[in-house]
Amino acid sequence: MTAAHATDPRALALSCLTEVSVGAKLALTAQASQAIAVEGPWLDSIGPGRCPSMPEPGRPERPPLVAPRELKQRKLNSVEGRAALIHAVAHIEFNAINLAWDAVYRFPDMPDDYYRDWASVASDEARHFSLLQARLAQLGYQYGDFPAHNGLWQAAVATEHDVMVRMALVPRVLEARGLDVTPGMIERLTRVGDRDTVAALELILREEVRHVAVGSRWFAYLCDQRRLESRSTFLGLLQHSAGALPRGPFNVSARLAAGFSPEELEALEKIC
């Protein structure tokens, strides 16, 4: 990191975002998130204006990316099946590192705490990925051994035009989906006796509640700034964005802890 980058969170984020090596991206993320946590304010250092579109972030050649329908469903009573599930979650976490850094990089004119929040999320996601990567290695596999899909990053591209839309449709829809489905994965892995993977997923689930809450916080902030009512704005964005409607059943307690209101959840139950 250069001295010029040291006080510009968007420049730090871009260096993390474009890095193709997994190991280097993890190391850069640790350095950048720590720098952003302790430095600032950045009112005079953050580059102005929205940034150029980035169709693809930095990522390794493997895993190969395929359409979701091409991914095989494997049973968890085999080592390969459990490794495939862990790999799928690891890929989500790897994408989440890039999504968090893109939230820092792409949107100017936000309060300093916005950049601190998303840098801290990037750090957590990198730690989650490392945890799952280590578990894969224990089972004799590594990241890249199974194909994956690119749906999370496609959502980043689709919401790059507006930070409010990004906060609504990525953390509060796609990442919130993890709050709903992870308990089921934990239950299935518990039944086959995979306690180590269960422990990793339980930790990830606890911390992902905060990540969704970060999205909720900044979505509410932007609605207030634009004098919009948050619940109707969120529901309107859901209904006018292709593929954005979440699927139930919902993890109500986790979503409430992550900043959803009871009224939002009641409305989601009706439209989904």
| Same domain? 95 vs 224 | no
Tally of domains within the chain: 2
| Same domain? 87 vs 169 | no
| Same domain? 167 vs 186 | yes
Q: Whole-prediction pTM value?
A: 0.92
Residues 264, 231 contacting (CB under 8 angstroms): yes
Burial class (CB in 10 A: 0-12, 13-18, 19+), 215: buried
Give, in degrees to the nearest 5, the angle at Cα 117 between 57 and 115. 65
Q: 118, 140, 159: which is the final residue of a domain?
A: 159
| Same domain? 135 vs 78 | yes
| Same domain? 137 vs 189 | no
Burial class (CB in 10 A: 0-12, 13-18, 19+), 176: buried
Rounded to whole angstroms, how far apart are CA atoms 139 and 141? Answer: 6
pLDDT at 1: 41
pLDDT at 2: 40
| Same domain? 24 vs 146 | yes
pLDDT at 117: 96
| Same domain? 254 vs 207 | yes
| Same domain? 24 vs 67 | yes
pLDDT (tens digit, 0 to 9) for every residue of the chain, 272 residues total? Answer: 443 344 588 889 999 999 999 999 999 999 999 999 886 655 444 555 667 777 789 999 999 888 777 778 888 989 999 999 999 999 999 999 999 999 999 998 899 899 999 999 999 999 999 999 999 999 999 999 999 988 788 888 999 999 999 999 999 999 999 999 999 999 999 999 999 999 999 999 999 999 999 999 999 999 999 999 999 999 999 887 766 667 778 999 999 999 999 999 999 988 77
Range of the domain at 220: 162-272
| Same domain? 79 vs 206 | no
Rounded to whole angstroms, how far apart are CA atoms 110 and 33? Answer: 17
pLDDT at 87: 96
| Same domain? 178 vs 133 | no
| Same domain? 176 vs 84 | no
Q: 159, 182, 206: which is the final residue of a domain?
A: 159
Q: 103, 138, 159: which is the final residue of a domain?
A: 159
pLDDT at 4: 39
| Same domain? 135 vs 170 | no
> Quick one: which of 243, 239, 265, 266 has its CA closest to 254?
265
